[in-house]
A and B are shown apart, each in its own frame.
Chain A
Amino acid sequence: MNALAAIGEALVLIGTFFYFLSALGLIRMPDVYNRMQTSTKSATLGSLGVMVGVGIWALGTDFGSAAWLTKTVVIAVFLLLTNPISAHALIRAAYKSGIPLWEGSVVDKYREHIEAKAKAPEETPKEGGEE
C-alpha cells in the first residue's frame, strides 16, 4: 500500500462516518426542519469525502488512472451543487404545506418576511389599472 491509497482510504473512512452521522441526525432530531438541516449538511460532506477518496485511492492501485479522479470529482461537484437545492425545495414544500415548527423553536424569519411582504402592497397604489 502506497501513500495515495492510504490518503484515499482515510478520506473514505471520514466520508462513511459522516454518512452515519447524517442518518443519526435523521433519527435524533425532533422536527422536519432540524432533521433536514443536520442530515443534508453531513450527507454532502460525506459524499465529498467518499467520492474524492475513491478517486485518490484508485490512483494508488495498479488498475487506476487519472480518469477515475476526474469522474469522481465531477460526481462530487454535482452533488455539492444539487444537495442544497433539493433541501431548499423540500423545506419550502414543508413550510407551504403547513407543517408546524417544533415547540422549542423561537425564530421564524420566513413568516416575518411573508407578513412584511403581504403588508407592503396595500400601502403602495397599484399602477397600470385599466378601466
Chain B
Amino acid sequence: MIGINIYLALIAIATLLSVYRVFRGPTTVDRLVAVDIMTTITAGLMVLFALYYKRMIFLDVALVYAILAFGGVIAFARYMEGGL
C-alpha cells in the first residue's frame, strides 16, 4: 500500500487531461472518445479502491459500470451515425 499515492496521482492526471479534451474537443465525436477513455479509467479506479478499502463488492460495481458504459457508448455511436 506504499505506492498507492503514485497510482492515484497518475490516474488523476489522466482524468484531468481527458476532461480538458471533453471541454476543448472540436467535434462531438472527440468528446465521446474522451468520455470513453474516462469510463475505462474509472473502472480501473474502482478496482484500485476495492483493494484499498478491502471490500470485494466494489469489483461487482466496476463490472456493472463497465457494462453500462459500453452500452451507452454504443448507443451514442449509433445516434451519431444516424441509425437510432
Contact = CB atoms under 8 A, between A and B. Distances in A.
Given A51-B44, A75-B63, A27 B30 contact: no
Contact of B47 (A9, A13, A51): A51
Nearest to B77: A89
Count class of interface residues, chain A: 35 or more
Q: Which of B13, B28, B36, B40 has most A Cβ within 10 Å?
A: B40
A4 interface: no
Nearest to A68: B56
A25 to B, nearest CB: 9
Given A20-B14, A63-B54, A89 B74 contact: yes
Interface string B5-20: 0110011011101101
Count class of interface residues, chain B: 35 or more
Interface of B: 3, 6-7, 10-11, 13-15, 17-18, 20-21, 27-30, 32-34, 36-37, 40-41, 43-44, 47-48, 50-51, 54, 56, 59-60, 62-63, 66-67, 70, 73-74, 76-78, 80-82
29 contacts: A16-B14, A19-B11, A20-B10, A20-B11, A23-B18, A23-B41, A26-B18, A26-B21, A26-B34, A26-B37, A46-B44, A54-B50, A58-B51, A71-B59, A75-B43, A75-B47, A75-B63, A75-B66, A78-B67, A82-B66, A86-B70, A89-B74, A90-B73, A90-B80, A93-B32, A93-B77, A93-B80, A94-B80, A97-B28
Interface of A: 9, 12-13, 15-17, 19-20, 22-24, 26-27, 32, 35-36, 39-40, 43-44, 46-47, 50-51, 54, 57-58, 63, 67-68, 71-72, 74-75, 78-79, 82-83, 85-87, 89-90, 92-94, 96-97, 99
Given A24-B17, A50-B47, A93-B77, 9 more contacts: A23-B13, A32-B27, A35-B30, A46-B40, A47-B40, A47-B43, A72-B47, A82-B70, A93-B32
